[in-house]
């Protein structure tokens, strides 16, 4: 019994030593590291940002894992993980490179789209400032509001690192910005037309020359620069800021279009007291306006039952007041003009007189960008 | 004889300890596949935080496997427990996902209502805003901006109809923000007029 027990002890010790000394080689730790790396790649969005490389990594990982499984199937003594370890080391290196590539790509995309969004935001702001100046608050501001909403949505996507979708929203925002610019150009393109500018310049020159020749007072209104200049015997004696209507930069065509007429007029009545302080009524529509209205009516450009309109005045009430087509001034300025103007005083209203002005330069810039 | 049996059992036990602790490969693969599956089902959109937690748990389980793998006496029991729990959690998330999508839908609808209310508030304020000297131009600009917000509002319903609840919510948030900005501007214009 004692012998048996000794034998058992020896057997036990032998087995233990056998299992310990002939311990099978350990599976390469790189295999588990590769699993962790795969998880990191998946979380970083590698399948999206570097799909091809990630698929390649996954295939290599699968192949390496299969090799481990095959090796494990062998009897312990015959296992050799060294070639597989080398393969895993290469896989890990590739995976680390891929992870760096994905992170770099995400970072550059984030930077790129943030810059794009900032540029669009600045463009919207600049357009808004222009609309403030021009009073063009219809389709331009509507489109700008839509552009801002798209930009805001893009910002939310940036926070979620959804760059591709964000790109689409930025593109949508840009579309609305272009529509806003186009709407602005529809109104302002006339101001870049050399023929129009020459015509307005001619009207202005003739008005000044007449004022000098006849030794009279004359009023010149420049719509683009929002200025009224008072001439005495051909010499400018006063310059005043003015306000126009909602569509003041357009040439008046019919009643209710809220546009300010352009042409050579004269004062037909002085109004000492009106809801807008004081007024100087001009002879709109003149002969040219009536011709233009008839032509437009024939072409169907004027709504049915709509007349040509009238009662266009230079009046007080404030330059910040939005008129319906009249020219608004601050009361103190109105007092000065009212005092000097008489029935018959020439009033010439032009779009612009100079090609070289900053406003036109801005418009040209928009046209170029568009 | 009795002692021999005892010793044989002991030998077998040692053999099991030293050779029998295999990596839980199948459990790892199953957990990863389950996570990918639930992601495809929409968890990345509608349960992003839960999904992030599951991924963190998976990383923790893989780290545990990694740690044990380096030891002479490997004990994968904890890792197995972690992976089994992870699989249970993934299954639970998958089961809860329809409810989460429904919640996202309801949240988007709620935001849609809030955006509408913000537009209505701005409109009402604009209607009673004084259009006198110094404010008329601003009021016109704000009216135009609000028209833009109203036009964009229709897109929320389009997104809802397309079951893009996150997109609908983002749209609603942006529109609500824009309408609120208009309201603030109108209030400022009214204040300027006083």
**B28 close to B90: Cβ distance less than 8 angstroms:** no
A201 and A76 fall within a common domain? no
Chain A residues close to B65, C-beta within 8 Å: 32, 35
In a domain, A348, yes or no: yes
In a domain, A247, yes or no: yes
Chain A residues close to B177, C-beta within 8 Å: 152
pLDDT of residue A331: 95
A76 and A213 fall within a common domain? no
Q: Which of A87, A105, A123 is the last residue of a domain?
A: A105
pLDDT of residue A32: 83
In a domain, A213, yes or no: yes
A206 and A71 fall within a common domain? no
- Which value, to the nearest 10 degrees, does the dihedral of the CA atoms of residues A34, A38, A40, A43 take? -170
A202: how many CB neighbours lie within 10 A of its CB? 12
A220 and A341 fall within a common domain? yes
Question: In this predicted model, which residue has the larger pLDDT, B22 or B99?
Answer: B99
Identity of the residue in B55, B146, B177 whose CB atom sits nearest the CB atom of A39: B55
Q: Which of A80, A105, A130 is the last residue of a domain?
A: A105
pLDDT of residue B48: 84
**A313 close to A279: Cβ distance less than 8 angstroms:** yes
Question: What Rg do the C-alpha atoms of chain A give, in angstroms?
Answer: 40
pLDDT digits (tens, 9 = 90+) for B123-140: 999 888 876 655 677 788
pLDDT of residue A8: 62
A207 and A344 fall within a common domain? yes
Domain of A231, in residue numbers: 195-357
In a domain, A69, yes or no: yes
Inspect the interface and report whether the beta carbons of A320 and B133 lie closer than 8 Å.
yes
Q: Give the count of Cβ contacts less than 8 A between chain A and B.
A: 133
CA A56 centroid distance within chain: 40
CB distance from B131 to chain A under 8 Å? Answer: yes
pLDDT of residue A100: 96
CB distance from B177 to chain A under 8 Å? Answer: yes
Mean pLDDT computed over B27-56: 89
pLDDT digits (tens, 9 = 90+) for B68-85: 877 777 888 899 999 999
- Report the alpha-carbon distance of residue A347 to residue A327 in Å, rounded: 11
Candidates A142, A161, A183: best to mutate against B (most CBs of B within 10 A) is A142
Q: Which of A105, A120, A149 is the last residue of a domain?
A: A105
Confidence of residue B193 (pLDDT cuts 50, 70, 90): low
In a domain, A281, yes or no: yes
Residue of A nearest to B18 (CA): A19
CA angle A194, A195, A201 (to 5 degrees): 85
Tens digit of pLDDT at every position of chain A (370 positions): 555 566 666 666 555 555 544 455 667 888 888 988 988 898 888 888 899 999 999 899 988 888 887 887 777 778 888 888 999 999 999 999 999 999 999 999 999 999 999 999 999 998 988 887 777 778 899 999 999 999 999 999 999 888 888 999 999 999 999 999 888 888 888 888 889 999 999 999 999 999 999 999 999 999 988 899 999 999 999 999 999 987 888 899 999 888 999 999 999 999 999 889 999 999 999 999 999 999 999 988 888 889 999 999 999 988 877 788 999 999 999 999 999 999 999 999 999 987 665 566 665 565 555 4
Lowest mean pLDDT among A64-73, A354-363, B1-10, B107-116: B1-10
In a domain, A168, yes or no: no
Q: Looking up tokens 């979380």, which residue turns up?
A: A43
pTM of the full structure: 0.74
Peptide bond into A72 cis (omega under 30): no
Cα diameter, chain A: 148
Mean pLDDT computed over B54-64: 87
A331 and A219 fall within a common domain? yes
Candidates A5, A12, A39, A132: best to mutate against B (most CBs of B within 10 A) is A39
Backbone angles phi, psi at B117, to 5 degrees: -60, -40
CATH number of the domain enclosing A297: 2.40.440.10
pLDDT of residue A139: 87
pLDDT of residue A370: 47
Identity of the residue in A11, A23, A35 whose CB atom sits nearest the CB atom of B62: A35
pLDDT of residue B176: 97
Candidates A3, A9, A32, A38: best to mutate against B (most CBs of B within 10 A) is A32
Identity of the residue in A39, A149, A322 whose CB atom sits nearest the CB atom of B58: A39
Identity of the residue in A23, A24, A137 whose CB atom sits nearest the CB atom of B141: A137
Strands of A83-233, DSSP E = 217-222, 227-232
A77 and A205 fall within a common domain? no
Backbone angles phi, psi at A346, to 5 degrees: -70, 135
**Total domain count, chain A:** 2
Chain B residues close to A4, C-beta within 8 Å: 1, 3-4
CB distance from B82 to chain A under 8 Å? Answer: no
Token pair listed for A102? 């994905």
CB distance from B134 to chain A under 8 Å? Answer: yes
List b or e across A120-149, with b for residues whose CB sees 16 or more CB atoms inside 10 angstroms. Answer: bbebbeebbebbeebbbbbbbbbbbbbbbb
Confidence of residue B20 (pLDDT cuts 50, 70, 90): very low
Identity of the residue in B63, B137, B149 whose CB atom sits nearest the CB atom of A36: B63
pLDDT digits (tens, 9 = 90+) for A291-336: 999 999 998 888 888 999 999 999 998 887 778 899 999 999 999 9
Cα diameter, chain B: 114
In a domain, A172, yes or no: no
ipTM: 0.75
pLDDT of residue A62: 86
Identity of the residue in A15, A33, A320 whose CB atom sits nearest the CB atom of B137: A320
Chain A residues close to B58, C-beta within 8 Å: 39
Chain B residues close to A329, C-beta within 8 Å: none
Inspect the interface and report whether the beta carbons of A321 and B132 lie closer than 8 Å.
yes
Instruction: Assign residue A136 a region (left: φ > 0; alpha: ψ between -120 and 50; beta: otherwise).
Output: beta
Please give, rounded to a whole number of angstroms, the shortest distance from the CA of B78 to a CA of chain A.
Answer: 16
Chain A residues close to B134, C-beta within 8 Å: 318, 320-321
A236 and A353 fall within a common domain? yes
**CB interface of B with A, residues 89-108, below 8 Å:** none
In a domain, A332, yes or no: yes
A213 and A326 fall within a common domain? yes
């Amino acid at each position: 019994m004692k012998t048996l027990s000794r034998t058992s002890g020896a057997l036990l010790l032998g087995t233990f030593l056998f299992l310990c000394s002939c311990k099978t080689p350990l599976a390469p730790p790189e295999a588990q590291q590769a699993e962790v790396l795969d998880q990191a790649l998946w979380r970083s969005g590698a399948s999206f940002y570097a799909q091809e490389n990630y698929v390649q990594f996954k295939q290599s990982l699968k192949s390496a894992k299969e090799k481990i499984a095959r090796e494990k199937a062998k009897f312990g003594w015959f296992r050799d993980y060294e070639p597989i370890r080398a393969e895993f080391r290469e896989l890990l290196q590739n995976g680390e490179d891929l992870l760096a590539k994905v992170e770099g790509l995400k970072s550059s995309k984030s930077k790129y789209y943030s810059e794009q969004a900032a540029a669009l935001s600045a463009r919207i702001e600049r357009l808004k400032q222009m609309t403030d100046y021009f009073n063009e608050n219809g389709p331009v501001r509507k489109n700008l509001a839509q552009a801002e909403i798209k930009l805001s949505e893009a910002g939310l996507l940036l926070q979620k690192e959804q760059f591709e979708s964000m790109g689409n929203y930025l593109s949508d925002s840009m579309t609305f910005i272009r529509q806003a610019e186009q709407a602005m150009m529809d109104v302002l393109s006339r101001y870049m037309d050399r023929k129009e500018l020459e015509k307005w310049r001619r009207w202005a020159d003739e008005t000044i020359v007449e004022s000098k020749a006849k030794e009279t007072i004359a009023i010149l209104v420049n719509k683009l620069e929002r200025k009224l200049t008072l001439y005495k015997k051909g010499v400018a004696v006063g310059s005043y800021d003015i306000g126009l209507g909602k569509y003041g930069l357009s040439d008046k065509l019919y009643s209710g279009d809220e546009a300010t007429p352009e042409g050579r007029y004269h004062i037909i009545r002085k109004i000492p007291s009106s809801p807008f302080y004081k007024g100087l009524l001009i002879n709109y529509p003149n002969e040219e306006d009536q011709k233009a209205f008839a032509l437009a009516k024939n072409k169907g450009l004027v709504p049915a039952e709509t007349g040509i309109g009238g009662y266009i005045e230079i009046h007080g009430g404030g330059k910040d007041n939005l008129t319906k087509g009249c020219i608004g001034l601050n009361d103190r300025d109105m007092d000065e003009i009212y005092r000097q103007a008489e029935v018959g005083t020439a009033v010439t209203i032009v779009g612009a007189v100079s090609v070289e002005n900053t406003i036109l330069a801005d418009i040209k810039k928009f046209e170029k960008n568009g | 004889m009795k002692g021999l049996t005892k010793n044989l059992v002991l030998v077998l036990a040692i053999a099991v300890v030293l050779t029998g602790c295999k990596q839980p490969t199948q459990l790892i693969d199953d957990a990863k596949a389950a996570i990918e599956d639930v992601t495809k089902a929409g968890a990345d959109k509608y349960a992003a935080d839960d999904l992030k937690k599951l991924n963190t748990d998976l990383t923790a389980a893989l780290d545990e496997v990694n740690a044990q793998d380096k030891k002479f006496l490997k004990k994968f029991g904890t890792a197995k427990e972690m992976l089994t729990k992870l699989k249970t959690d993934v299954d639970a998330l998958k089961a809860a996902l329809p409810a989460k999508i429904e919640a996202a839908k309801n949240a988007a609808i709620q935001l849609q209502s809030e955006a509408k209310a913000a537009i209505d508030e701005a409109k009402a304020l604009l209607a009673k805003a004084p259009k006198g000297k110094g404010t008329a131009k601003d009021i016109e600009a704000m009216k135009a901006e609000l028209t833009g917000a109203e036009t964009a509002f229709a897109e929320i319903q389009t997104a809802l109809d397309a079951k893009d609840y996150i997109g609908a919510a983002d749209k609603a948030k942006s529109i609500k923000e824009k309408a609120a900005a208009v309201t603030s501007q109108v209030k400022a214009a009214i204040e300027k007029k006083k």
